[in-house]
Homo-oligomer: A and B are copies of this chain.
Amino acid sequence: MKVYIIGLGLIGGSMALDIQRLYENAEIIGIDSNENHLNEALSIELIHQKGNINDDFDGDFVILAVPVDVALVLLPKVLDSISENTLVFDVGSTKKPICEVVENHPKRSNFLATHPIAGTEFSGPKAAIENLFEDKVNIICEIEKTAYKKQEKALEFFRNLKMRIRYMETKSHDKHIAYVSHLSHISSFMLGKTVIEKEKDEKDIFDMAGSGFESTVRLAKSSPSMWTPIFKQNKKQIVKSLEEYIANLSSFKSFLESDDYEAIFNEMKNTNRIKEILK
């Protein structure tokens, strides 16, 4: 198994760890525009050697694990210089733009659009962890545009990672993921901001923060370089989800202001359904 990994952050790095664990003779060539990350990945043995973005790509897979704006630039270039049997797959959190950018590329059938729903709030090579993908969902878009043999090879790889596969249209993916992922990040970032701003006047309030606050604000530790281009690419859907979220918060506030505690109780009671849903 010979694999190029472009982008040695949490996702690329974790894939590297699993490939080494699963394939005895794996050869992993790492590429990263951040020279420090590249050296770090080599020194902690995520990768076996350094590569260069201008290489010719052969082997089994090229994994494109870079911020989604960079992916739009790199994917066509990478496809230009891969050998016939190599499959490139991306792992980005938006799927419509990346599929559109290679829609008419002569090597389109060498590409598979995927989104492994896995991660933590940390980033960089040292954030890589083994088994990150076990039991996680991997969403695959436009499967029919990838050459059949290459589909099979990729699916076998994802099966080895123990991922559950789900097929979706790019537009549906981007719409749904706005709600269950992108919106959570914004709600968390803005909660963190609200409390930090309050702290300017009122010292030491974080002393009072319990595990509830920590859990709700965890995603506010995420990388701005990774998330800004995601928000940009999925702007329309995110604005819509934010409008709905703000409307729900405003209506909760109105119930409070008008002392309608029955409504407040019911809002929470109905939302308790999340217990069953997330099981």
Contact = CB atoms under 8 A, between A and B. Distances in A.
Contacts of A206: 180, 277-278
B268 A228 contact: yes
A218 B215 contact: yes
A222 interface: yes
Given A175-B202, A205-B179, A207-B166, A231 B256 contact: yes
Given A177-B208, A194-B244, A196-B274, 11 more contacts: A183-B195, A184-B212, A185-B212, A186-B249, A192-B274, A196-B270, A215-B216, A221-B275, A224-B264, A242-B249, A242-B252
Given A202-B176, A261-B232, A119 B268 contact: no
A217 B268 contact: no
Contact of A264 (B120, B166, B228, B252): B228
A210 B136 contact: yes
A259 B233 CA distance: 11
A117 interface: yes
A231 to B, nearest CB: 6
Q: How many copies does the complex hold?
A: 2
Contacts of A177: 208
Contacts of A243: 253
B252 A186 contact: yes
Contact of A261 (B199, B208, B228, B273): B228
Contacts of A238: 256
Contacts of A219: 212, 215-216
Contact of A180 (B195, B246, B253, B274): B195
A241 B278 contact: no
Interface string A223-247: 0110111011001001101111110
A98 B257 CA distance: 22
A210 B256 contact: no
B224 A269 contact: yes
A36 interface: no
A170 B220 CA distance: 30
A209 interface: yes
A250 interface: yes
A54 interface: no
Contacts of A181: 208-210, 212-213
B253 A222 contact: no
A29 interface: no
A272 interface: yes
A221 to B, nearest CB: 5
